[in-house]
Amino acid sequence: MLQSEWLPDSYILILTGFGVLIALVAWLPLALKRLPLSLPIVCIGIGAALFSLPQVTLIPLPMTYPEITERFTEFVVIIALMGAGLKLDRFLNWRSWHVTWRLLAVTMPLGIAAITLLAGWGLGLGWAAALLVAACLAPTDPVLAADVQVGPPKTGEEDEVRFGLTSEAGLNDGLAFPFVHLAITLAAVAGTGQPWFVEWLTYRVLWEIGAGIVAGWLIGRAFGWLTFHVPTENKLARTGDGLIGLSATLVSYGLTEIIHCYGFLAVFITALTFRRTHRDHEFQTAMHEVTEQMERLAMMVLLLLFGGAVVSGLLAPVTWSDAVAAVVILFVIRPLTGMIGLLGFRASFTEKITMAFFGIRGVGSIYYLAYGLNHAELPDAERLWGLIGLVVLMSVLLHGLTVTPIMRLLDRQQGRDPDAEGATPPPGLQGPSA
C-alpha cells in the first residue's frame, strides 16, 4: 500500500513532463544557436527515446488518430503563418515580392507535376494518391522552416534569401490546397464519369483563393483599426497583451473556414494587413513574441509525437523505391525546380541555390495528408503515411544539420558578421527571438 502511494499517477507525470518541455522551449534555442543542430532534430530524438520506453504504452501513429492529427497540425500551421506574416517588414507589392511570385508560380507547380509523375509512374500509386502526395510535399513548411526565415519585426533581418523563403512558406500552404482538393475529387469520381473540372476550378480555385485573400484583408484591417486606430483610451495596443495576435489568428481562420475559403491563406494575409496598419509600433513585437512562443511549444509537442510515431512503426510500410523517391524529391526535384523558378532573378548563385535547397517539408505535409485521407478513400494509406513521414524526417535531418553553417556562410558573404556582439542570430526556432 505504501509502495503504491509513492508511485505518481499519470496526471502528475504529464504536468512534470510539460514543465520540462516548457523549459526546453526556452533554453534549447540558446544552447543550439551556433551548433549544426536544430531544435526539431532534438525534439524528434527526445520523442523517439521517450516512446521507446516500455512504460509508455501510447502508440502515436497518425493513422490511429486521424482526426486529432489533422486538427493538431492545422493549429500549429495557422500559428506559424501568423508569426511569419507579422515579422515581414517588406510591403506587399509586385516588385519587392518578385522572388516570392517566382517560387509560387513556377517552382511549386513544377514540383507538384514532377512529384505526381514520380509517385504515379515510379511508385505505382494511383493518380489521385500520387497527386495528393505531390500536394503534400510541394509546398515548403512555415513551421520547421523558421530557421531560414526573417528575424522578428523591425530587426532588419530581411535579406533576399530569408525573405523569399519566409514569404513562400506563408503563401504556398494556401495555394497548395486546390491540388489537395483536386486529388480528393479525382478519388471520388474515379470510374463514375461525373464532370468535375468546372466545379473544382470555380469553387476550389477561384472562390476559395479569392475569398480567402479578401476575407483575410478585411479581418486584418479590422484588427488593425481596433488595435491601433480607435480612440486612445480604447485601442487594444494599450493592453500591451500580445495575445491579440493569437486572437487574430483564430478569428481569421474560423471566419474564413465558415464561408468555405482557404483559412491558411487568409491567416497569412490577415497577418500582413495587421502588420501594415501600424508597421513600426512596438506592439507588433509583443504580438510576434507571443505567437512565436505558442508556435514553438506546439511544434515541440508535435515533434515529440512524431518521434514516437517513427519508433512505433510509421516507416514500416516504406519500400526501397519509396526511399529512393524521397531522396529524389529532396535532392533533385526541389533544388531543380527552385533554380528554374529563379532563372533570370537578380541574385548571386549562392543565394539562388540556398533558396532552392531549403525547401523544408514538415508539419504542413502531415496536415495535408491527414486532411486528404480523412476526406477521400484511398488505398495504401499506411504506405502514404510512411512515405510522407520519411520525407519529413529526412528533411528535418538534412536541413537541420546544414541550416546553421550555410546561413552563417551566407551572412559572411553578404558582409554581415553573425558572431558580432549584439547581432541578431539566425531567426526563428534556431535562436532567440531578440
| Rg of the chain taking only CA atoms, in angstroms | 21
Question: What global pTM score does this model have?
Answer: 0.90
Mean per-residue pLDDT, 292-305: 89
Q: What is the pLDDT of residue 404?
A: 78
Contact (CB, 8 A) for 274 and 88: no
Q: What is the pLDDT of residue 407?
A: 84
What does the alpha-carbon distance between residue 402 and residue 357 come to, in Å, rounded to a whole number? 10
Cell of 188: 471520388
Q: What is the pLDDT of residue 111?
A: 96
Angle between helix 160-189 and helix 127-137 axes, rounded to 10 deg? 160
How many other CB atoms are found less than 10 A from the CB of residue 267?
Answer: 33
Mean per-residue pLDDT, 227-252: 79
| Cα-based distances in Å from 339 to 79, 183, 335, 345, 399 | 29, 27, 6, 10, 17
Q: What is the DSSP string of 250-279?
A: HHHHHHHHHTTS-HHHHHHHHHHHHHHHTT
Block residue for cell numbers 553573425: 418
Q: What is the pLDDT of residue 343?
A: 93
What does the alpha-carbon distance between residue 242 and residue 49 come to, in Å, rounded to a whole number? 35
The better pLDDT of the pair 140, 242 is held by: 140
pLDDT in tens, 140-187: 888 877 777 777 776 665 788 888 988 999 898 888 999 999 999 999
Mean per-residue pLDDT, 217-234: 83
**Residue spans per domain, the chain:** 8-430
pLDDT in tens, 262-272: 999 999 999 99
User: What is the 3-class SS of 302-325, one letter each residue?
Assistant: HHHHHHHHHHHHHCCCCCHHHHHH
Lowest mean pLDDT among 94-98, 116-120, 362-366: 94-98
Reported CATH class of domain 8-430: mainly alpha
Cell of 202: 470555380
Give the 3-state secondary structure percentages of the chain, helix then strand then coil, rounded to 5. 70, 0, 30
Greatest Cα pair distance in the chain: 76
Comparing CA positions, the residue from 156, 186, 150 lying closest to residue 169 is 150
Angle between helix 208-224 and helix 160-189 axes, rounded to 10 deg? 140
Lowest mean pLDDT among 22-31, 73-82, 174-183, 309-318: 22-31
pLDDT greater than 80 at residue 26: no
Cell of 155: 530587426
Q: What is the pLDDT of residue 250?
A: 94
How many other CB atoms are found less than 10 A from the CB of residue 419?
Answer: 10
Mean per-residue pLDDT, 75-91: 90
Mean per-residue pLDDT, 111-139: 95
Chain CA centroid to CA 56, Å: 28
pLDDT band for position 279 (50/70/90)?
Answer: confident
The better pLDDT of the pair 291, 432 is held by: 291
Look over the chain and give the mean of its residue pLDDT values, rounded to a whole number.
85
